[in-house]
Structure 1
Amino acid sequence: MKAPFDLIADRYDESRGGTERGERFASVIADLFDDEGPILELGVGTALVGGALAGHGYQVFGMDISAGMLSHARDRMPGRLALADVCRLPFRNESLAGCYAIWMLHLASDVSVALAEVRRVLRPGGRLVVVPASNRPREDAIGRLMFAMQTKLLGEQSQKGGADELLQLAARCGFTLAGRRELVQSYQHAPEAMAREIETRNFSSLQDVNEQQWHEIVLPTVAALRALPDPVKPIDRTTVHEAVILTPAHAG
């Protein structure tokens, strides 16, 4: 049975900023862990971040439910990957110094179970770093159109997976907040490129869109992107994310 990200594995790197973006995130993650024990990336994908973090000298393992994504990760993290579900981690109790998840924890079938699993495998004093995925408006032409589309498609679900929801679940699962770090990324993206990514359903939220939603919500967004001035010219974009740093309560 194919995982949703199997469908976009071959073009994932190109559409998500490639190795440069992975290196930027790895540099931030590296500042949040020490180098005295193994670290697990939850939902490692193609190992853009994990491979770069390993390049910083960290002992990094990765797991993902998508065999397609892992097929691209092998070259970056050979011998350190597992096809597994975040709700059933293939690691012993208290065997890891840290775990991190970037834009993926909300995709777990049960986030509370996933958090409990992470708590189980973390050593006392270990850390879980989560970059939550949430549908935030961005102040550029592409961002405004994408926010409107996602909000219409997902309704209340478009706000699921944010930091506030994570902190509530984490507290119930035995974690305490150790800190928060804002991550600002500046890059360029062309409206036409975004239109093509939508047409190829290069986002997990588009893979189950029905025909009516596609014609009434998605296609008008594609048309609006192509109607922007000079749509093939990349425009400046800024994305603000937040890293939430959690420690198991038993860490003291």
Structure 2
Amino acid sequence: MSAQATAPFDKIADRYDRSRGGEERGEQFAGVMDELLGDGPLLELGVGTALVGGALARRGRDVCGVDVSAGMLGYARDRLPGRIALADVCRLPFKDASFAGCYAVWMLHLASDVPTALAAVRRVLRPGGRLVVVPANNRPREDAIGQLVYAMQVRLLGERSDKGGAGELLRLAEKCGFTQTDRRDLPQTYQHAPAAMAREIERRNFSSLQDVGETEWREIVQPTIDALRALPEAEVPRDRTTVHEAIVLEPAP
């Protein structure tokens, strides 16, 4: 991804927090990052609205963030004043060995070239520094909403359905000289109505939907929306649990 006048996430910046767990999720993920990353300045790759970065700053951590979406950074500015930059993760605008730790939540797969982004991270990490990545979660889920959405994603992405997942991340990280040193589960429990998910899909709130064409939308996406609305009590929120992973990577000697 490169910095440009309009980035895909500009279109959903005003509703991103509501659709991604809000402040509660930010605090939860920040707690894990605080534990896994050592003392010293931190860099968030794809800081977005700074839900996580802002929560870390409230814990007293020194956090900077970069993103290519000016729209998302408009919200991040209030949470990390003076600590954000419109920049590409493949071309980080920092000196070598600037950070004790870097982290990325649900975004590394969106880089235009993940190996180049990983090389940029290696450059800005201090000796002994860590990179913590929460990959995109493309695993099947047991609840009815999750099953329908997962089936849609697999049909849309085909062989790319592992894109952004832990398996792909670890393969690329190893090639780029990183070694996995830790791994933590991040269970996220929340309530979500089937009809609310249908509306999120209609608004293309997920990166995999940004460029879906008319034919795929008619044959794959619209039937998923219809099936979600056909579930019993579609407007009533139901309990859901998603298990994310925090993968700790360190540059190999």
Matched residue, 1:12: 16
Deviations, residues 39-83 of structure 1 (Å, cap 9, x unaligned): 000000000000001111100000001000000110000000000
1:52 aligns with 2:55: yes
Matched residue, 1:63: 66
Structure 2: segments with no counterpart, 5+ residues: none
Q: Pairwise CA RMSD of aligned residues?
A: 0.9
SS in 1 for 2:130: strand
CA distance in 2, matches of 1:132, 1:181: 12
Matched residue, 2:174: 171
Does the CA-based 8 Å contact 2:48-2:67 persist in structure 1? yes
Does the CA-based 8 Å contact 1:129-1:246 persist in structure 2? yes
1:123 to 126, 131, 138: 126
CA distance in 1, matches of 2:169, 2:152: 24
Does the CA-based 8 Å contact 1:134-1:160 persist in structure 2? no
CA distance in 2, matches of 1:151, 1:169: 21
Deviations, residues 104-126 of structure 1 (Å, cap 9, x unaligned): 00110000000000000000000
1:241 aligns with 2:244: yes
State the TM-score, normalized to the length of structure 2. Answer: 0.96
Matched residue, 1:105: 108
Matched residue, 1:27: 31
Amino acid paired to 1:24: Q
Deviations, residues 126-151 of structure 1 (Å, cap 9, x unaligned): 00000111411110010000001111
Give 1:29 deviation, angstroms: 1.0
Give 1:17 deviation, angstroms: 1.3
Give 1:164 deviation, angstroms: 2.1
Structure 1: segments with no counterpart, 5+ residues: none
Amino acid paired to 1:144: Q
State the identity %: 73
CA distance in 2, matches of 1:149, 1:164: 20
Matched residue, 2:164: 161
CA distance in 2, matches of 1:158, 1:27: 29
CA distance in 2, matches of 1:33, 1:134: 22
State the TM-score, normalized to the length of structure 1. Answer: 0.97
SS in 1 for 2:197: helix
- Structure 1 residue ranges, 4+ long, deviating more than 6 angstroms after superposition: none
CA distance in 2, matches of 1:194, 1:153: 17
Matched residue, 1:142: 145
SS in 2 for 1:221: helix
1:76 aligns with 2:88: no
